[in-house]
Amino acid sequence: MKRNYLSYVILFLLFAGIHLGQAQTLTLDEAIDRALKNNELIKRQEERLIQKEHANLEAWGNFLPQVKVEAGYTHLNKPLEIDLNFLREGLLQLQTSDQVKMANLQSLILNGRPLTDAELARVQQQAYLALDAALPPFALAFKDQDYKSATLLGVQPLFLGGKLIAAKKFASSELQASKQELYKTRNDVIQQVVKNYLAVVLMNEVVKTRQNVLQAMLRHQTQAQKLFAQGLISKSDVLRARVAVAEARRNLFDDQNNLELAEIALRHSLALDDQTPIVINDSLVYKALNDSLETFLRLAREGQPVLKLLSFKEQSAAQKFAAERAEFLPQVAAFGKYEMYPEYLSILEPRWAVGFRLQINLFNGFKDYNKLQEARHLKKEVHLLKTHTQRQIDLWVQKAYRQMRNAETRYLQLASDIALARENLRSQQKRFEAGLGTSLDVIDANLILEKEQIARHQSLFDYYQSMVELFAAAGNPAKIKEIWK
């Protein structure tokens, strides 16, 4: 029995050790680093950035010649040919008639008589047959019924009204905008992680405070029961102590659940499973931030990724306008072609050809004009959005800075309130022990001290939360790590 019991104890310790080994003790730096590596939104934005990089490289390709090969095999219903046999027949008839006339004239000179009809017919037939045999057919096939084709084509744009340059600048602006979107996403993730991390730290502090209050209430209940047994206090004082213990347990249970929810939110921001154990050993410690409001306003105007993003979007809109304006200008390109199967070419087709091509759009139903106006107003829209966003970010900085200072002041002032609450609790306990005070007085004193302690924890939490907001508005929420250390 002793051996079995010892085996169970060893197994329990092993499993407990494994469980504790799986728990991850996280600092703020580690939490931020883990989130930046694993967060799906950051990975998605990184993929989009890669797309924009390839799109920028693709825009360079517009300046280079386009070379391609076109190949095929064709079967016609019949060969392509030119039939001029009607001209051949006319020539035969004309030449035959001339030879018959010459033969008739020769008979008059030599024989003193013209040829008879039978002789004329015979001469005509002989002359026609001789000429028909001597004259080739007037039909030429210049394309076989089955033929192959392979053509090497090349086109080099020379002038497209600035469209190629606009397209390249547009791609570059979109690439830079995508970088700012990635930076903004990283800042959003950092901000969320820090807020969730601080929420866990706060709830740890609150749970500790609730546990201390519960222990104090239990001690008071025990003391009240002893005094009641001695006949020094009434039963109502004992009942009030029991009610206070029950309420303290409820408060502790509620905040323990809130702590679990805060840990779940932190796991989600770290891309961890809900069941992955984590341990946060940090505590809320006040550290002053002495930078002025004007400093943060300047940093926000210089480093806020949203403003930089809108600046690049404004450049993109300007390049879109330039591209639409290029539609009103002529487009010039050089071209060349080379046939790779000359044996299948007709006498009318060249082996190679080079040249220039010019194209200008004269009228297309005012579509180009309306596209140009659309691009013009898009530029104005982005500019107005940027101006409005600048004011909103200034307001964001102002609000976060004032909230931070308010929370800081509240935290510092609560120190004296807590000291006063402790002294009040000590005094009420002394009075109760001496039989001069009531249980309700002690309970109220405990609750006042608990309220002031939690309020101070909450003020310090609000202080750091507002500080994170302030750093995020200035474009660098990761700076909280320097303050936190």
149-193 pLDDT per residue, tens: 899 999 999 888 888 899 999 999 999 999 999 999 999 999 999
**Six-digit token pair at 103?**
């033969």
Q: What is the H or E stretch that residue 150 is in?
A: strand 146-159
Grouping H, G, I as helix, E, B as strand and the rest as coil, residue 72 is strand
Rounded to whole angstroms, how far apart are CA atoms 465 and 483? 12
Please say if the pLDDT value at position 468 is more than 50. Answer: yes
Rounded to whole angstroms, how far apart are CA atoms 415 and 16? 40
End-to-end C-alpha distance for the chain, whole angstroms: 53
pLDDT one-digit tens code per residue, 292-332: 999 999 999 999 999 999 999 999 999 999 999 988 889 99
User: Top-level CATH class of 23-66+160-331+364-484?
Assistant: mainly alpha
Q: Which amino acid is at 395?
A: L
Nearest to 29 by CA among 183, 192, 193: 193
Please say if the pLDDT value at position 9 is more than 60. Answer: no
pLDDT one-digit tens code per residue, 42-98: 999 999 999 999 999 999 988 889 999 999 999 988 887 777 777 777 887 888 888
**Six-digit token pair at 476?**
């660098």
Q: What pLDDT is recorded for position 123? A: 80
One-character DSSP codes across 13-58: HHHHHHHHHHSEE--HHHHHHHHHHH-HHHHHHHHHHHHHHHHHHH
Comparing 4 with 99, the larger pLDDT belongs to 99
Q: Which amino acid is at 426?
A: R
Rounded to whole angstroms, how far apart are CA atoms 135 and 412? 121
Residues paired with 75 in a beta bridge: 146
User: Residue 252: pLDDT band by 50, 70, 90 thresholds?
Assistant: very high
Q: Which residue has the tokens 């779940």?
A: 264
Sheet with strand 146-159: strands edge to edge:
66-75, 146-159, 331-339, 352-359
Q: What pLDDT is recorded for position 23? A: 57
Asked if residue 289 lies in contact with residue 483, where contact means CB atoms within 8 angstroms, the answer is yes
**Six-digit token pair at 119?**
């002789």
Nearest to 405 by CA among 483, 293, 283, 284: 293
Q: Pairing state of beta strands 331-339 and 146-159? A: antiparallel
What is the average pLDDT score of the chain?
87
Nearest to 297 by CA among 141, 473, 465: 473
Q: What pLDDT is recorded for position 247? A: 92
Rounded to whole angstroms, how far apart are CA atoms 221 and 231? 15
Asked if residue 269 lies in contact with residue 192, where contact means CB atoms within 8 angstroms, the answer is yes
Q: Which residue has the tokens 């609730």?
A: 210
Rounded to whole angstroms, how far apart are CA atoms 47 and 185? 13
Q: What pLDDT is recorded for position 24? A: 62
Q: Pairing state of beta strands 331-339 and 352-359? A: antiparallel
Residues paired with 132 in a beta bridge: none
pLDDT one-digit tens code per residue, 201-243: 999 999 999 999 999 889 888 888 888 888 777 888 888 889 9
pTM for this predicted structure: 0.76
**Six-digit token pair at 7?**
């085996």
Domain boundaries, the chain: 23-66+160-331+364-484
Asked if residue 39 lies in contact with residue 189, where contact means CB atoms within 8 angstroms, the answer is yes
Q: Pairing state of beta strands 278-279 and 80-83? A: unpaired
pLDDT one-digit tens code per residue, 380-407: 999 999 999 999 999 999 999 999 999 9
Rounded to whole angstroms, how far apart are CA atoms 471 and 304? 10
pLDDT one-digit tens code per residue, 308-317: 999 999 999 9
Please say if the pLDDT value at position 118 is more than 90. Answer: no
User: Residue 22: pLDDT band by 50, 70, 90 thresholds?
Assistant: low
Q: What pLDDT is recorded for position 186? A: 94
Please say if the pLDDT value at position 4 is more than 60. Answer: no
Q: What pLDDT is recorded for position 169? A: 92
Rounded to whole angstroms, how far apart are CA atoms 161 and 331? 6
Q: What pLDDT is recorded for position 19? A: 41
Asked if residue 183 lies in contact with residue 305, where contact means CB atoms within 8 angstroms, the answer is yes
